Amino acid sequence: MNFIENILSKLGLNESLAPLKYRAVIFGESGLFIENVKSIVSFSNTEILVRLKKGEILIKGEDLKVKNYTGFDLYVLGKVKEFSHR
């Protein structure tokens, strides 16, 4: 069981019954990780707009950079100040 699955299990969430739109983990002001990313809509040092299968995520912060972008996973480094889903 990986880190996220462990958290889901503790929260009592079953993804097979109700699939999640996305999964994200924020590591304080150091970075974040998002699963189920469809594409990057816009990208700058202060703002990253990510498109999901359903909806979008807006990340605001300082000195943001994409550490890794492969498949549906996105790793962002930088001082994350705002994270919103719409």
Partner 1 sequence: MKGFFSYKITGLNLDFLIEKLKKGGIPLYLLKKEDKKTLIITTSAKTEKKLFAITKGLCYNIIKIGESGVFNLKEFFVKRLSLIIFASLFLFSTFLFRNFVVKIEVFGTGYSKREEIKRVLEENGVKEFSFFTADTKTIETKILKTGDFSFCSVEKKGNRLKINALLTKKEVVKEKSYALFSNTDGKIISLKVFKGTAVKKVGDFVNKGEEIVLGYELINEEKKEVFVLAEVKIETENKAEFIFTKEVEEELILEILKEEFAEDLVIERINFTKTDDKYEYTVEFKSYFTLSVGG
List residues near partner 1 by CB under 8 A. Answer: 39-45, 65-70
Q: How many residues does the chain have?
A: 86
The DSSP letter of residue 82 is E
Query: Residue 14 or 68: which CB sits closer to partner 1?
Result: 68
CA-angle at 63, arms to 78 and 34, nearest 5°: 40
Dihedral pair phi/psi, residue 11, rounded to 5°? -80, -10
Query: Residue 65 or 85: which CB sits closer to partner 1?
Result: 65
Query: Residue 9 or 42: which CB sits closer to partner 1?
Result: 42
Least Cβ distance, residue 73 to partner 1 (angstroms): 10
Beta bridge partners of 42: 49
